[in-house]
Amino acid sequence: MVPLSYYLILSLILFSVGMAGVLLRRNIIIVLMSLELIFNSVNINLVAFSHHLQSMAGRIFVIFTITIAAAEVAIGLAIIVAMYRRVKTVYVDKLRGMKG
């Protein structure tokens, strides 16, 4: 029996690593991968609480999260492909089209 706090700390570490990836990397594909890491840490959190409280709500919610994440990846990668055709770069620093 693994205590709940172990899962919470693991999920926190994954979240922090994902957030560091979003904040520090400039390659937009790796930013999207880090977003997936954050999604996964949230899923671990939901399932751990669901297991701890002996409820099904968190597990059902994880199914919806996984679906939303799949939709997000499909749209996000489509946007990246469309953007790459236009500006020929994947670095978020080079995207200054909307800078005031």
Partner 1 sequence: MEQIFFFIFAVVAVGSAVAVVAFRNPVHSAISLMVCFFQVAALFILLRSPFLAAAQLFIYVGAVMVLFLFVVMVLDLGRASFDEPVFHRRIWGIVVVLGLFAEVVYLTLKGEPSHIKGPYVDGAMMNNTEVMGTLLYTKYIYPFEIVSILLLLALVGAIALTMNSKGE
Contact residues toward partner 1 (CB under 8 A) are: 1-2, 4-10, 12-14, 16-21, 23-27, 29-30, 32-34, 36-37, 40, 43-44, 47-56, 59-60, 62-64, 66-75, 77-82, 84, 90-91, 93
H-only helix segments in the chain: 4-24, 28-52, 57-87
**Cβ(14)–Cβ(34) below 8 Å:** no
CB of 100 to partner 1, least distance (A): 18
Distance CA 22, CA 33 (A): 9
Distance CA 13, CA 70 (A): 23
CB of 33 to partner 1, least distance (A): 5
Tokens of 53: 């409280």
When the beta carbons of 32 and 98 are compared against partner 1, the nearer one is 32
List all residues 6 or more positions away from 78 whose beta carbon is below 8 Å from its beta carbon.
Answer: none
When the beta carbons of 77 and 100 are compared against partner 1, the nearer one is 77
CB of 98 to partner 1, least distance (A): 18
CB of 83 to partner 1, least distance (A): 10
